[in-house]
């Protein structure tokens, strides 16, 4: 398994570098999983390349999640798990979002399945997704104040 993951990862990195060298800012290898760090501005374009390049063919977005590195800045790290069903390969794209201006392009135009995942991140982290068709709270009630999964939100809640 690990060799396969790495072989796939090097294909993805090579294809992305050939397409636009600045799209791969950094490559992180950890426990056989490869993370490609993408510049904030290039996320949508790089994700589109991953989906539409016939040799990459990442046709499903498995998951989107966020890690809050508070008090570091940029504090948010967005992680997208891409899956190519025909090639049976996975890759993770990562980009960072600043705390002052938590805005990023939505991936919903590429994978409609991103809709609820991004709504969840908007709900729990307060990150705004530009180009999202229906950006509302999903789990919490509309009148809830704050973003509970941020590290500076107390575990026991605000009273």
Partner 1 sequence: MVLNMGPQHPSTHGVLRVLLELDGENVVTAVPDLGYLHTGIEKSCEDKTYSQAITLTDRMDYLNPLGNNLVYCLAVEKLLNLEIPKRAQYIRVMMVELQRISSHLVWLGTHALDMGAMSVMLYCFREREEILKIFERFAGQRMMTSYIRIGGLALEPPAGWRELVKRFVDMMPPRIDEYEELLTNNRIWQGRLKGVGYLPAETLIAMSTTGPGLRAAGVALDNRKAFPYSSYEEFEFNVPTRTESDCFARYLVRVQEMRESLKIVRQAMDKITDQGPIKSEAPGIVPPQREKMKTEMEALIYHFKIFTEGFSPPPGEVYVPVESPRGELGCFIASDGSPKPLRVHFRGPSFVNLQALPQMVKGQLIADTVAAIGTIDIVLGEVDR
DSSP 18-80: HH-GGG--EEEEETTEEEEE--GGGHHHHHHHHHHSTTT---EEEEEEEEE-TTSSS-EEEEE
Exactly one of 6, 25, 27, 59 binds partner 1 (CB under 8 A); that residue is 59
- Closer CB to partner 1, residue 6 or residue 79? 79
- The answer to whether 112 contacts partner 1 (rule: CB under 8 A) is yes
Separation between Cα atoms, residue 127 and residue 134, nearest integer Å: 14
- The answer to whether 118 contacts partner 1 (rule: CB under 8 A) is no
Interaction pattern, residues 9-48, with partner 1; x per rule: CB under 8 A: ---------------------xx-x-x-------------
With CB under 8 A as the contact rule, which of the stretches 12-20, 42-50, 56-64, 97-105 interacts with partner 1? 56-64
- The answer to whether 1 contacts partner 1 (rule: CB under 8 A) is yes
- The answer to whether 132 contacts partner 1 (rule: CB under 8 A) is no
CB of 46 to partner 1, least distance (A): 18
Separation between Cα atoms, residue 57 and residue 133, nearest integer Å: 25
Q: What is the dihedral of CA 114, 115, 119, 121, to 10 degrees?
A: 0
Q: Please check whether residue 117 is in contact with residue 58, taking contact to mean a CB–CB distance below 8 angstroms.
A: no
- Closer CB to partner 1, residue 5 or residue 45? 5
Exactly one of 21, 88, 100, 101 binds partner 1 (CB under 8 A); that residue is 88
Q: At what angle do helices 2-19 and 43-52 cross, to 10 degrees?
A: 120
Exactly one of 40, 57, 74, 116 binds partner 1 (CB under 8 A); that residue is 116
Tell me which residues in 133-152 interact with partner 1 (CB under 8 A).
137-141, 148-149, 151
End-to-end distance of the chain based on CA atoms, in angstroms?
A: 48
């Amino acid at each position: 398994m690990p060799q396969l993951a790495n072989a796939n990862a090097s294909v993805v990195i090579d294809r992305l570098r050939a397409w636009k060298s600045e799209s791969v800012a950094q490559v992180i290898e950890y426990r056989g999983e490869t993370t490609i760090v993408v510049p904030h501005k290039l996320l949508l374009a790089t994700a589109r390349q991953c989906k539409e390049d016939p040799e990459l063919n990442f046709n499903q977005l498995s998951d989107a999640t966020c890690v809050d590195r508070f008090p570091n800045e940029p504090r948010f790290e967005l992680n997208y798990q891409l899956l190519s069903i025909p090639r049976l390969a996975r890759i993770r794209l990562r980009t960072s979002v600043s705390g002052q201006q938590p805005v990023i392009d939505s991936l919903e135009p590429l994978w409609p399945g991103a809709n609820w995942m991004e709504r969840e991140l908007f709900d729990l982290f307060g990150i705004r997704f530009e180009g999202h068709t229906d950006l509302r709270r999903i789990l919490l009630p509309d009148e809830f104040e704050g973003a509970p999964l941020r590290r500076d939100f107390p575990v026991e809640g605000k009273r």
